[in-house]
Amino acid sequence: MSAISSSPTEPTAVRCSHFGTCGGCSLQDKPYDLQLALKKEKVLAALKGVEGLPQLTITGAPDEWNYRNKMEFSFGDVYPPVEDHWLKLGMKPRGKWYEILDLQECHLPSPEAAKLLASVRKWAEREKVPPFNSHKNEGILRHLVIREAKNRPERMVHLVTTNGQIPKPSFIEAVQRVYPATTILLGSNAKAADTAISDSMEVLTGQGYITETLYFPDGAVDYRISPHSFFQTNTKGTEALYGLLRAWTRELAAGTVLDLYCGGGGIALSLAGAARKVVGVEQNPSAVADAKANAERNGFKNCEFYCASVEMLLPSLLDLRPDAVVVDPPRAGLHPKASAALLEMAPPLIFYVSCNPETLGRDLKILAAKYSFERVVALDLFPHTDHVETVVRLVRR
């Protein structure tokens, strides 16, 4: 955790001119020590009523700024339009999905991100490429997504449109003039759902993916990251999170470990050097393809990945008799069928990684039927926001 010089109770100067409007960094006016205290209180409040919890510790983020490796920006209309400025590109203010904040700065991704937004905004207005208007169901530009390796010089720009019809050479030039993108992609999404996911994809430059390396005290792991694959958004914080799980697994001299909701294999691959066998389960086909490619890239022969929903596949994995099971579910937490299958399987250890303290508390109360709690650690992977990761080590009674 970086050193904090201000008092936990002193207000601190905000860095971003959009503070109070954007809603993304709602805590940046508070000293970082106070942010950590508030997040610790949040986790404790959510876990109230879970009996037998050990003392909660919280670890601060290695970097307070420019830590995010992924950002999704949205396009929108300027209304009423003015001459030479009729397009917005930025964030949706919290609670106002129908508005776009025309972002001029952001201190969560790399410093070059703001320059990229300005360049793409000017490109769209110069080329007269209209933003998508969901009310009128017309327009072209929907989202601009960036993914940045923090330990390698690789970056991705993914433009999501309704039909993929844009002046491609000038778009590439607008990106490369201000932003060190190693791959640029053009995607199409004509669906009504306002998501930054492309149904079809064209690689304009580069390989169509980036590679990131996570470093641990006893080794390193490379990860291929595709446009739609999941990867923790704080690279340096992820090294701390995965490093903790890796250390716990190494303590066990584990034979088989299950990694449920494994995404692109982030946790599974970080545990491959600490266990005899790791089996990952994920329902996103693109993420599973990344996980398999990542295992091959690193030369890991002890990793298997299955594309299926956890609640459907988990009962069939009972015969594996894993020494430990890692669960890293989405914000909704464990599916009831998954919780039931875990209780039936009853592995000696469960490592629960949670991005939502409320659903974590609910699931721990269910798993308490057969498990005690050895460690509870909160890790701040999202400075200046109210989000926090929590890891719980459960041991079968």
Which domains occur in the chain, in start order? 40-63+234-396 (3.40.50.150), 70-211 (2.40.50.1070)
Q: At what angle do helices 32-46 and 357-367 cross, to 10 degrees?
A: 40
pLDDT score of 240 more than 60: yes
* CA dist 210 → 114, 200, 205, 294 (Å): 20, 18, 12, 12
**Can you give the three-state secondary structure of 291-352, one letter per residue?**
HHHHHHHHCCCCEEEEECCHHHHHHHHHHHCCCEEEECCCCCCCCHHHHHHHHHHCCCEEEE
104 band by pLDDT with thresholds 50, 70 and 90: very high
Instruction: Say which amino acid occupies 125.
Output: E
Task: Please state the rounded mean pLDDT for residues 369-397.
Answer: 97
**Percentage of the chain with pLDDT > 90?**
81
pLDDT score of 3 more than 80: no
- Write down the residue that tokens 């875990």 correspond to: 342
Query: Comparing C-alpha atoms, which of 170, 191, 176 is closest to residue 128?
Result: 170
Residue scoring higher pLDDT (194 or 236) = 236
The structure tokens listed for 224 are: 């291929």
| Average pLDDT across the chain, whole number | 92
pLDDT at 76: 93
* 376, 53 Cβ separation under 8 angstroms: yes
7 band by pLDDT with thresholds 50, 70 and 90: very low
- Write down the residue that tokens 């050097």 correspond to: 273
Q: For the segment 122-172, what is each residue's pLDDT rounded down to a tens digit? A: 999 999 999 998 888 899 999 999 999 999 999 999 999 999 899 999 999
**Percentage of the chain with pLDDT > 70?**
97
Model confidence, pTM: 0.90
* 280, 266 Cβ separation under 8 angstroms: no
Is 106 known to be catalytic? no
Q: Count of residues for the chain?
A: 397
pLDDT at 11: 60
pLDDT at 80: 77
DSSP bridge partners of 376: 56, 392
pLDDT score of 338 more than 60: yes
Chain centroid offset of residue 138 CA: 30
CB atoms under 10 Å from CB of 358, counted, come to 15
